[in-house]
Amino acid sequence: GAVVSQHPSRVICKSGTSVKIECRSLDFQATTMFWYRQFPKQSLMLMATSNEGSKATYEQGVEKDKFLINHASLTLSTLTVTSAHPEDSSFYICSATTSRSYEQYFGPGTRLTVT
């Protein structure tokens, strides 16, 4: 149980385009989903927290207009990187949790490369 999928696993896009990453909880309802980013040799850094049906809460230094997060249902959250630039190239990973637990279940991540 507690499986989280992420799609795509790897994406290459041109500078200036937008990329959407999906995070799905497959066998449970996720009241809260988290989006993390990891740069090489650094730790997972929380970007934002999203609760189903409400606006995401962004961490300091994360541009909400650049990283659009939508959590429209209890099983799906999306992260859209708008007008991507090479510095947005990174590993993006989501996690999901239920209201009854602080255990977070992670997706396998998405490697984004912006050329």
Partner 1 sequence: ILNVEQSPQSLHVQEGDSTNFTCSFPSSNFYALHWYRWETAKSPEALFVMTLNGDEKKKGRISATLNTKEGYSYLYIKGSQPEDSATYLCALYGTASKLTFGTGTRLQVTL
Binding site for partner 1 (CB under 8 A): 4, 9, 34, 36, 41-46, 49, 93, 95, 102-109
Minimum CB separation from partner 1 for residue 49, in Å? 7
b/e string for 8-42 if b means 16 or more Cβ within 10 A?
A: eeebebeeeeebebbbbbeebebbbbbbbbeeeee
Would you say 15 or 103 has its CB closer to partner 1?
103
Q: Which amino acid is at 88?
A: D
Interatomic CA distance for residues 52 and 99, integer angstroms:
11
Minimum CB separation from partner 1 for residue 32, in Å? 9
Would you say 10 or 85 has its CB closer to partner 1?
10
